[in-house]
Structures are given as structure tokens and as C-alpha cells.
Amino acid sequence: MTDTVETRLAAAGLVLPALVAPRGNFQPCTLAGDLLYLSGKGLPSRDAGTVPVPKVGGQVSVAQARAHAHDIALYQLAVVKQALGDLERIAQVVKVFGMVNAVPDFTEHTEVVNGFSDLWVQLLGERGRHARSAIGVGSLPMGFAVEIEAVVRFR
């Protein structure tokens, strides 16, 4: 068996989620030359039927927010797969920008966004290492705990 992103996903017991249409007048991603720009993505709470997640560092723990970032990483990989047809076309993850909907005195933004970064490095190896920013924000759409966008160079 060849060592690919798809085989690493399967070995980790992970499945790329189904994509949903954006809730606005924008695309999930845009191709420009050999770069794929991924729109910011947040996800509602894992608990079906609950209201969107409240503030990280308040009602949402770092571990819970990190799990959201992990789920966003899977979703964004699904966007890449749809756009490129094959995850092996990823040459390098260039930049990741993570926003954490946090209480004002929260300082663990990097730990939250590591949920995204760690998974992409696990699945993509050195191609997954990237420049990154992780910031706190006062709010995010739909009360998301985390929203993450990325830039990927492809072959």
C-alpha cells in the first residue's frame, strides 16, 4: 500500500466530511496560479441540537476548541480534495490563519489552532508545515469557537 494522505487518513480512522454550500456570496476556495486560497471555515458544536459554542476560555475549554480546529482541518482537506481532485497535488501548505472566539484575557490561541496544524502535519508530513497566525477575536459568525483559513501551493 502506498503512503498517501488518503492512507494516512484511513489509518487514523478519519473520514473527510461532506461539504456544505457557503452561507453567503463567496466560494469555499479560489484558485490563483499555483495557489489555492481556502475561505475561513468554522463549525458549529459537535453536539447536535445545541446552540453555537460560546467563548473559548469561558464556557469552552482549550481542549474543546482544539477539537473544533481539528474538525476544521478535516473539512478544509475536503475542500482541497474537491478543488484539486487529489490531495497528493498539495505541494506545500503556505499559510494558516486561525481566529479564536475567546474571552478578553485568553492567551492560549496557539494551543487551539494547533488542533488544525498538528493534523495537517500528521497527514501531509513536511508539506503540511506552514507559516501561521493565531489571534483572538470578539466574535465569529454563528458563534463559532474557531475559524481557520489557509493558503496551499499545489502541483
What pLDDT, in 10s, does the model give residues 42-60?
Answer: 987 555 445 555 799 998 9
Residue 140, domain member (yes or no): yes
What CATH number did the domain enclosing 116 receive?
3.30.1330.40
| Structural domain includes residue 65 | yes
Mean pLDDT by groups of 10 residues along the chain of 155 residues: 90 96 94 98 64 78 96 98 98 98 97 98 97 96 93 98
Number of domains in the chain: 1
Residue 98 is part of which domain span? 27-154
CB atoms within 10 A of CB 106: 17
The answer as to whether 12 is a domain residue is: no
Instruction: Tell whether 87 is covered by a domain.
Output: yes
Beta bridge partners of 100: 136, 146
110 and 134 Cβ atoms separated by less than 8 Å: yes
Task: Give this prediction's pTM.
Answer: 0.93
Mean of pLDDT over the chain: 93
The answer to whether position 128 is within a domain reads yes
* Per-residue model confidence as pLDDT tens digits over 15-43: 999 999 988 999 999 999 999 999 999 98
